[in-house]
Amino acid sequence: MITAVRKPMEEIIACVAPYDRILLVGCNECVSVCSVGGRKEVALLASALQMHFLKQGKTMDIKEITLERQCDPEYVEELVNLTDGADAILSMACGCGVQTIAGRYREKPVFPAVNTTFMGASERQGVWSERCQGCGDCVLGITGGICPIARCSKRLMNGPCGGSSNGKCEIDPNIDCAWQLIWDRLKALGLERRIEDIMEAKDWRTSRDGGPRKIVREDLAS
């Protein structure tokens, strides 16, 4: 899923301070699962903002709504009767959601309340780790199911580098060395020799380097 963390309160306050009526919009998808922008977090942020502004002697009118999916125009359409009553929109979705709102309600300023961080998986309760960088040409089938692009600090395709120490990355003892993981997994699969196959220079066009990407499914597109 897409993970996010909430922006610092001061930054959010600075964004909305010039306005009197805020539409605070959550999302029921990824940011809800990682407990940063779902219904509950929308309510918490609304209360915190109201309290902050009350202390300053200002009554902030905050309307709360959590959409099923903020990156989907169909759901974003649900805001159509609410935007008139707001001076600005504060979104708790990932950057995709924020931009879908900004694209639809062009006359309203939209601010992100979270920093979108990475595509990751849950390791355990409350811990998420980056797993995919969406390079557009998946290599997991030859790297034992562990992604060197997302999980090696140098995104080495032919690792490990000389800084792998006791299974950890040289930049942080809390980060696993991706190539140690790959090696362990290849061994478990009896595919040790594969580590000597050179992974050729990557064609980054399928990644961000080919320009902003788009998928058009002719069978589905209307």
Q: Is 58 exposed, middle or buried (0-12, 13-18, 19+ CB in 10 A)?
A: exposed
Cβ closer to other proteins: 115 or 153?
153
Listed ranges 63-71, 78-86, 95-103, 195-203: which one lies at the site for other proteins (CB under 8 A): 195-203
| Position among 201, 215, 220, 221 found at the interface with other proteins (CB under 8 A) | 201
| Segment holding 27, helix H or strand E | strand 21-27
Distances (CA, A) of 105 to 70, 81, 86, 167, 180: 13, 11, 11, 49, 48
C-beta of 147: minimal distance to other proteins in Å? 14
Q: Is residue 159 a contact point for other proteins (CB under 8 A)?
A: yes
Cis before 160 (ω within 30): yes
Cβ closer to other proteins: 108 or 202?
202
Q: Which phi and psi angles does 98 have, rounded to 5°?
A: -55, -45
Q: Is residue 116 a contact point for other proteins (CB under 8 A)?
A: no
Amino acid at position 88, single letter: A
| Position among 158, 191, 210, 213 found at the interface with other proteins (CB under 8 A) | 158
Cβ closer to other proteins: 77 or 192?
192
Binding site for other proteins (CB under 8 A): 153-167, 170-172, 177, 180, 183, 192, 195-196, 198-202, 204
